[in-house]
Amino acid sequence: MKDTEVGAFDALVGEFYPVWFRYHSLEAVASGVAGYDGDLPTAEDHALGALAAWLEATIVGLEELDYYALDEDRRLDVEILFCACRHEHQALLEMDWRHRDPLRYLPFRALCRLTATPWIAADKSVDRCLRELPSYLQQAQERLSAVPQLVPQVWLQAARAEATTGTRFIQNLARSAVSEPHHKSAMDSLQAFDRFLQQAIPPATGGVACGEVWFLQRLYFQHGLSGNPDALHQLITRVYDTTLGELSQRSVVACGCPDPTQWLEQVEHDRGLEADAVAEFAAHENRRLHSFLNELGVFDLPSASTLDVRVDLTGCHRSCYLPPGPADSAPLGTLCLSSGIGENGTWDREQLLDDCFVHGWLGTHLQAVAGQKSTVASSLVRRLNPSVTMTQGWQMYAEQLVGERGYQSPPQQSLQRLLRRLRRIALALLDLEVHVNGLDLESARSRLASLPGRVSSCQLESDLLRLSRDPTAHLAAIVGWQLITELGQIVASSGRKTDERLFHHSLLAQGAVAVPRLIRRVYGNDVRQRVMASLGLADRASGNR
């Protein structure tokens, strides 16, 4: 019976994803699956109807499995896939994006990914994408013009900026002779789409709040978190107050005053780095961090040669990290530095260091290499359904850990790191207040602008855009960080002989799984309940789909 159920589940997964990728080409490319590159996002009624039916059939198939006849790793995969299908199916039925989200029609992220992925024949894939773009954007105009008042202003502005950036990017492709036959018609269609947004959509008045029911469903399906909004708000408020207190204490030591604004005024103002110095600076900081972690010995650290650094000068806002390709024998990842360009054209040192922390040895690369070594973590189910409770929560945990263990940074870098942490926690509070309590984005903007620290207008708009488009992400990242920290303390105080390296390996080897589910898989449900209770969060019954 057990072998029969294992075979049935493996067959279900093997059948599900080739069909699912037809509607999610960007996810296929990001996961190293060939054959879907160059496809534009699905938007036709018949296609979305077919996708909804496929998701529903998969949900039924998962429910028919004998859950307890499976091994524990497959049980977790069943839960992850079931939640992912339920969440996407409900989104198709209840949150149709096609009449209110012009940004999702624009293929700039897909183009960036295609041109950055070495194992893809980019010229053919980009050519197909650009060839289909004019008719695709014409259909988008028809859908968006039906109910223009649904479009939120922040999404409208972002879409117009994206259309302009996409036009410049295609011009650069044309200069390099990539997809030249279709570049002019694609640029013309982008410019026409921008004019349409300017003339047909304003005044855009649509709201961005997803509402309490959807927010809590998303929190559970994607991140394995249960709890009422008040309990979540209380937890994040405590973390915010603790971080603000630490910032004040460090400010007193640095300048004799608890106000971090005075500390910020005293540190030497960084004039930034010129573009030709960025690669050397990043490589040096990566080597320094790798050497420190190697001496610390608390992580299974890959060789320093497994992380490459690339400086992107194209203006393409692609991901800052490109994982190893599907055929790579060595786990070589690429740190693509592109987000550190300041308003004066130089590169911000603190932003570059943050990219190195987030996407390098403390974050994405360390997780990617650990996942590639683990047959469990490298499954499609886990790679395609990451939770920020682990991806970002782990990075915040690791950053705090190395700081406590003596990793030395100049005063301005230590200050900026604390300020960024405070900002991320503030965004978690706003995540709840905007999507559950209905706080408007202008009030959220004022709250963010009032935080201590220098933040560019571009960063402020980027924060607001993500806050509006990705409900639960900011909140789940902070909760994940707190869960991992609390778990470490409970394991260390359990009386058992613990090895930090093994503790960290036990987490990373599971992949980017929602931390509550990860804790249950590795340490058992009793430990999960204890961790959740210690943070004041309710815990849904384990193992239920």
Quick: pLDDT tens for 486-502: 999 999 988 666 789 99
Assess if residue 62 is contained within a domain.
Answer: yes
d(CA 420, CA 392): 13
Greater pLDDT, 237 or 543: 237
Is the CB of residue 247 less than 8 Å from the CB of residue 419?
yes
Assess if residue 490 is contained within a domain.
Answer: no
- Residue 264 tokens read as 């910020």
Greater pLDDT, 76 or 267: 76
Residue 46 CB burial class (10 angstroms; 0-12, 13-18, ≥19): exposed
Residues 74 and 123 in one domain: no
Query: Is 80 exceeded by the pLDDT of residue 114?
Result: no
Strands 307-311 and 321-322: unpaired
pLDDT band at 542 (very low <50, low <70, confident <90, very high): very low
Query: Is 90 exceeded by the pLDDT of residue 172?
Result: no
Residues 166 and 19 in one domain: no
Domain count, the chain: 3
d(CA 285, CA 266): 24
Average pLDDT for 239-255: 92
Instruction: Give the CA distances from residue 471 to residues 93, 263, 273, 409, in Å, rounded to whole numbers and listed in that order.
Output: 18, 34, 34, 33
Average pLDDT for 115-123: 67
pLDDT at 180: 65
What are the two backbone dihedrals, phi and then psi, of residue 132, each rounded to the nearest 5 degrees?
Answer: -90, -10
Greater pLDDT, 3 or 5: 5
Assess if residue 299 is contained within a domain.
Answer: yes
Last residue of a domain, one of 68, 94, 120: 94
Assess if residue 328 is contained within a domain.
Answer: yes
**Digit-coded pLDDT (tens) for 426-476:** 999 999 999 999 999 999 999 999 999 878 888 899 999 999 999 999 999
Query: Is 60 exceeded by the pLDDT of residue 398?
Result: yes
Residues 225 and 156 in one domain: no
**Digit-coded pLDDT (tens) for 184-224:** 899 999 999 999 999 988 777 889 999 999 999 999 999 99
pLDDT band at 75 (very low <50, low <70, confident <90, very high): very high
d(CA 445, CA 430): 10
Average pLDDT for 358-372: 91
**Digit-coded pLDDT (tens) for 280-303:** 999 999 999 999 999 999 999 989
Assess if residue 483 is contained within a domain.
Answer: no
pLDDT at 344: 64
**Digit-coded pLDDT (tens) for 95-108:** 999 999 999 999 88
Residues 229 and 116 in one domain: no
Range with the poorest average pLDDT among 182-191, 219-228, 304-313:
304-313
Assess if residue 519 is contained within a domain.
Answer: no
d(CA 146, CA 196): 13
235 contacts: CB under 8 Å, gap ≥ 6:
479, 482, 535, 536, 537
Residues 353 and 465 in one domain: yes
Residues 243 and 389 in one domain: yes
Is the CB of residue 243 less than 8 Å from the CB of residue 421?
yes
Q: Containing domain of residue 167, as a range?
A: 102-200
Query: Is 80 exceeded by the pLDDT of residue 138?
Result: yes
Residues 32 and 137 in one domain: no
Q: Prior bond to 324 cis, omega within 30?
A: no
Last residue of a domain, one of 421, 448, 474: 474
Query: Is 70 exceeded by the pLDDT of residue 423?
Result: yes
Residues 193 and 254 in one domain: no
CATH number at residue 36: 1.20.58
d(CA 167, CA 159): 12
3-class SS of residue 524:
coil
Residues 229 and 355 in one domain: yes
Which amino acid is present at 303? S
Query: Is 60 exceeded by the pLDDT of residue 545?
Result: no
The rounded mean pLDDT for the chain is 89
Assess if residue 536 is contained within a domain.
Answer: no
Query: Is 80 exceeded by the pLDDT of residue 233?
Result: yes
Going by the DSSP 8-state scheme, the letter that residue 347 receives in this structure is: B
Range with the poorest average pLDDT among 30-34, 176-180, 404-408:
176-180
**Digit-coded pLDDT (tens) for 260-278:** 888 887 775 666 788 888 8
Residues 280 and 395 in one domain: yes
Last residue of a domain, one of 41, 72, 94: 94
pLDDT at 544: 47
User: What percent of the chain is modeled with pLDDT above 70?
Assistant: 91
Residues 189 and 244 in one domain: no
Query: Is 80 exceeded by the pLDDT of residue 149?
Result: yes
Assess if residue 340 is contained within a domain.
Answer: yes
Residues 175 and 264 in one domain: no
- Residue 85 tokens read as 């299908």
pLDDT at 270: 60
Query: Is 90 exceeded by the pLDDT of residue 381?
Result: yes
